[in-house]
Amino acid sequence: MTDPATTGVHSQPAIRGSLTPIVTPFANGEIDEVTFTALIRHQIDNGGHGVAIAGTTGEPTSLTLDERERLFHLATEAVDGRGAVLAGTGTSDFADTVRLGRAAQRAGATAALVVVPYFVQPPQRGLLDWFRRAADESELPVILYDIPGRAGVGLSVDTTAQLAQHENIVGVKLARPDLIHASNVIASCGPNFGVYCGVEALCFPMLVLGGAGHVSATGNLFPAEMAAMAEAVFAGDIETARSIHYRLLAVNEAIFFETNPIPLKAMLALRGLARPDVRPPLAPATPELTARLETILAATANN
């Protein structure tokens, strides 16, 4: 195994901390821009280090390309230079991915979050070529988005390490519940390559392993706590970070009682932050699920 202390072509990750993947709020089937802007300001006002737009939590496959471009602009305006904006530009069509990357650059985003092409299940050599070409075309730094449960295929450790050698590929979001894989990616890519946790319940251990931060849906509900957990680990205060981890553990799990973001949007509605509406083929939480979520939220708030 290569010594991670001597590996990599990048400087220390410029993007660090809690980068919340914002839900896309809807009202009567249309994007609720006022609520979207308020959700982002709520993040930054409560210490969040940035936001991710049109990631899985934002229901990107239910959005048109024009809608995604509009969200990029709204997000950068709302953040107003106070944090990072990761623009979810990935699709299963290369031309559309390039188009969204250019739109994100024009909007002033910090980086492009490019998901593994979903449904087609390409081989690793195809993924290498895809991401290298995407990075070559992008004027923004690229963060890989490895989510095999949704895409149907994941990036191997070796493929990730090879891509980390591209000067414009600066990190990877790992949305897979595998700390061994995460450890091998961090070791193979080196400390100057940003590795971000995309599994809510593993944000704390991945930070301890050397992760640069997390892209956690829990931040929609508890932005201050998720930011504080990252800052505590960075400062070497593991006990404080551990206590936050266990306080939020039930909420981390509740987000996946049904397909994300159904439970998350229901909990945001319970807190008066957004409507529970999702776009088809997703369906709103049932009354039974909502009652269960309300109990968990109340217990967490009183913990």
Whether 246 is catalytic: no
**For the residues 61-69, what does the mean pLDDT come to?**
98
How far is residue 300's CA from residue 83's CA, in Å, rounded to a whole number? 27
Return d(Cα 127, Cα 89) in angstroms, integer. Answer: 16
The whole-angstrom separation of Cα 62 and Cα 67 is: 10
What letter does residue 139 receive in the DSSP assignment? S
Query: Which of 140 and 6 is assigned the larger pLDDT?
Result: 140
What 3-state DSSP class applies to 116? coil
Q: What is the pLDDT of residues 167-190, one digit of tens each?
A: 999 999 999 999 999 999 999 999
Rounded to 5°, the CA angle 79-147-182 comes to 95
| Catalytic choice (145, 196, 246, 265) | 145
Q: Is the pLDDT of residue 12 over 90?
A: no
pLDDT class for 11, splitting at 50, 70, 90?
low
pLDDT for res 2? 35
pLDDT at residue 273, rounded to an integer: 97
Q: In which band, very low, low, confident or very high, does the pLDDT at 9 lie, cut at 50, 70 and 90? A: low
pLDDT digits (tens, 9 = 90+) for 247-263: 999 999 999 999 999 99
Confidence (pLDDT) at 6: 40
Tokens representing residue 69 in the block? 């471009």
Please pick, among 118, 173, 246, 265, the residue that the annotation labels catalytic. 173
Q: Answer whether residue 228 shows pLDDT above 70.
A: yes
Q: Give the per-residue pLDDT at 302.
A: 84
Average pLDDT value for residue range 18-43: 98
Q: Is the pLDDT of residue 5 over 70?
A: no
Q: What confidence score (pLDDT) does residue 3 get?
A: 39
| pLDDT band with cut points at 50, 70 and 90 for residue 4 | very low
Is 173 an active-site residue? yes
Decide if 270 contacts 258 (C-beta within 8 A): no
Q: With bands split at pLDDT 50, 70 and 90, how would you rate the model's confidence at 239?
A: very high
DSSP annotation string for 206-263 = HHHHT--EE--GGGGT-HHHHHHHHHHHHTT-HHHHHHHHHHHHHHHHHTTSSSTTHH
Residue range 125-153: mean pLDDT, rounded: 97
Alpha helices in the chain (DSSP H): 33-45, 65-79, 94-107, 124-137, 148-151, 157-163, 179-189, 203-209, 223-234, 238-254, 262-270, 287-301
Residue type, 143: I
pLDDT (average), residues 259-268: 98
Distance between CA atoms of residues 76 and 160, nearest Å: 28
Domains of the chain: 4-241 (3.20.20.70)
Q: Which residues of 220-246 are buried (b: 16+ CB within 10 A; e: fewer)?
A: bbbbbbbbbbbbbbeeeeeeebbbbbe
The single residue listed with the structure tokens 């006990």 is 239
Looking at the predicted structure, is the pLDDT value of residue 145 above 70?
yes
* Percent residues over pLDDT 90 in the chain: 94
Question: Any idea what DSSP says for residue 120?
Answer: S
Question: Average pLDDT, stretch 106-121?
Answer: 97
pTM for the predicted model, two decimal places? 0.95
Question: What pLDDT score was predicted for residue 14?
Answer: 82
Tell me the two tokens of residue 74: 């709204």
> In which region does residue 47 sit, left (phi positive, over 0), alpha (psi from -120 to 50) or beta (all else)?
left
User: Average pLDDT over the chain, rounded to whole?
Assistant: 95
- In sequence order, the 6+-apart residues with CB closer than 8 A to the CB of 227 are 17, 18, 46, 47, 48, 49, 219
